[in-house]
Amino acid sequence: MSESTPAPSVTGQDEVVDLCRELIRIDTSNYGDHSGPGERAAAEYVAEKLAEVGLEPKIIESHQGRASTVARIEGEDSSRPALLIHGHTDVVPANADDWTHHPFSGEIADGCVWGRGAVDMKDMDAMTLAVVRDRLRSGRRPPRDIVLAFLADEEAGGIYGARHLVDNHRHLFDGVTEAIGEVGGFSFTVNENLRLYLIETAQKGMHWMRLTVEGTAGHGSMTNNDNAITELCEAVARLGRHKFPVRLTKTVRSFLDELSDALGVELDPEDMDATLAKLGGIAKIIGATLRNTAAPTMLGAGYKVNVIPGQATAHVDGRFLPGFEDEFLADLDRILGPRVRREDVHADKALETGFDGDLVEAMQTALKAEDPIARAVPYCLSGGTDAKSFDDLGIRCFGFAPLKLPPELDFAGMFHGVDERVPVDGLKFGVRVLDRFIDNC
Ligand SMILES: [Zn+2]
């Protein structure tokens, strides 16, 4: 703020940092059951901020304390299809002892707002609130209707948030054809002339599986050629070591083409280890989008050292690329073999849309206006988001939560990581980009 100008009215850029800090201070840890504090306090906070600028937000509680907030902004042309901007208000838990600054303090240090949710995703929640409040205070209606959704439970699959709304309150999304949400729009600085902004246009699907082997129970001292633990462990080890083949989806191919152009080098999809080494922090994000993956994550069997149990189980986090689910399941069965029973404990689809159209144009234009060396590129997310639920309504979903990041920040490592933090300048940049994006949406 310049000292020479008379007290200007509060802008989105002024507010965004405080909104983000206040949201972080509301503990919304999601333990995957109802043992956490829930999202009710955050839902009420958001509703109050929206009501202050004349909206009529609805709070929808799916289970005691598990609440989401939805509001609709009337645009200049309500006959056009509407845009959804969605964010989740829950966060994964944090162990305060591991952190430099308390994870629910929202402290500002070293130019960053620190705390659980700083990048996943109270930053975008705050940016959305800041932009909407600024626009409505100054009477700048969006060109079309915008539905805002601040959702519970994303970190546990959205059952009590997005999934609940889509299944039970779908009228809230009437007329919505496109959406923006998390895990996209962040920057990767290539050099002083080029900064890529990764727009999420695809995401992997998931099969979270339980594997079971039944064997013959018996005394640990006796001969037993049908030991469930031995059989299961061999199968799990085969799976854990298996490298699924590289499969280039439309999105990943287009990302690699952009990257190859940006870096001025030929990229060999069959030798991606060398390519990934050039990518620094985002290698973690991109590496897992080249192939299906299956990571063993839990093991269980037995109850006494001299008793061979009749059963052994393992859990595996399986992720498949858009278009490669059938191949994934066939590969799993082949690798695991006939002794292993495989059941899903949770499954969800993969998503993929094109990197084209007016909305994508609006993202590119807004980024370029705020960062002259910006280039927006499509990418595939290895995880999943609430977009999977909204896709059921035929909504075309993008990950676009714009952030300009300092090159040295390990952004991928911030997600669910210790010392999660977001640069203050990044938040303000995001507000400016989102505001321009809404102008043209
Ligand atoms: Zn998230």
For residue 307, how far is its CA from the centre of ligand 1 (angstroms)? 44
For residue 426, how far is its CA from the centre of ligand 1 (angstroms)? 17
Q: How many CB atoms lie within 10 A of CB 4?
A: 5
For residue 20, how far is its CA from the centre of ligand 1 (angstroms)? 15
Show the DSSP H helices in 242-357 as ranges.
250-263, 272-277, 283-287, 325-336
Q: Which pLDDT score, from 0 to 100, does residue 277 have?
A: 76
User: 279 burial class (0-12, 13-18, 19+ CB within 10 angstroms)?
Assistant: middle
Assessment of whether the complete model's pTM goes beyond 0.75: yes
Tokens of residue 31, six digits? 């333990």
DSSP state string for 95-130: -GGG-SS-TTS--EETTEEESTTTTTTHHHHHHHHH
For residue 155, how far is its CA from the centre of ligand 1 (angstroms)? 7
Are residues 200 and 400 in contact, defined by beta-carbon separation less than 8 angstroms? yes
For residue 433, how far is its CA from the centre of ligand 1 (angstroms)? 20
For residue 401, how far is its CA from the centre of ligand 1 (angstroms)? 11
For residue 363, how far is its CA from the centre of ligand 1 (angstroms)? 20
Q: Which pLDDT score, from 0 to 100, does residue 154 have?
A: 96
Q: Which pLDDT score, from 0 to 100, does residue 5 have?
A: 44
Tokens of residue 206, six digits? 């998931």
How far CA 110 is from CA of 16, 100, 120, 423, in Å, comes to 17, 12, 19, 8
Cα-atom radius of gyration of the chain, to the nearest Å?
23
In the block, residue with structure tokens 């919304």: 28
For residue 117, how far is its CA from the centre of ligand 1 (angstroms)? 8
For residue 274, how far is its CA from the centre of ligand 1 (angstroms)? 29
Strands 311-320 and 351-352: unpaired
Task: In whole angstroms, give the CA distance from residue 123 to residue 401.
Answer: 9
3-state secondary structure labels for all residues of 346-358 = EEECCEECCCCCH
For residue 114, how far is its CA from the centre of ligand 1 (angstroms)? 16
Q: Which pLDDT score, from 0 to 100, does residue 3 have?
A: 44
Provide φ and ψ at 361, rounded to 5°: -55, -45
Q: How do the pLDDT tens digits run along the chain, 441 residues long? A: 444 444 457 899 999 999 999 999 999 999 999 999 999 999 999 999 999 999 999 999 999 999 999 999 999 999 999 999 999 999 999 999 999 999 999 999 999 999 999 999 999 999 999 999 999 999 999 999 999 999 999 999 999 999 999 999 999 999 999 999 999 999 998 889 999 999 999 999 999 999 999 999 999 999 999 999 999 999 999 999 999 999 999 999 999 888 888 877 777 767 777 777 777 666 777 888 999 999 999 999 999 999 999 999 999 999 999 999 999 999 999 999 999 999 999 999 999 999 999 999 999 999 999 999 999 999 999 999 999 999 999 999 999 999 999 988 888 888 899 999 999 999 999 999 999 999 999
Note the maximum CA span of the chain. 89
Q: Which pLDDT score, from 0 to 100, does residue 284 have?
A: 74
For residue 197, how far is its CA from the centre of ligand 1 (angstroms)? 18
Beta bridge partners of 84: 147, 179
Q: How many CB atoms lie within 10 A of CB 339?
A: 16
For residue 88, how far is its CA from the centre of ligand 1 (angstroms)? 7
Q: What share of the chain is helix, strand, coil (3-state, %, to 5)?
A: 35, 25, 40
Q: How many CB atoms lie within 10 A of CB 214?
A: 16
Q: Which pLDDT score, from 0 to 100, does residue 281 have?
A: 66
For residue 119, how far is its CA from the centre of ligand 1 (angstroms)? 8
Show the DSSP H helices in 323-404 as ranges.
325-336, 358-370, 387-391
For residue 313, how far is its CA from the centre of ligand 1 (angstroms)? 30
Tokens of residue 174, six digits? 């009437």
For residue 122, how far is its CA from the centre of ligand 1 (angstroms)? 9
For residue 303, how far is its CA from the centre of ligand 1 (angstroms)? 38
For residue 71, how far is its CA from the centre of ligand 1 (angstroms)? 20
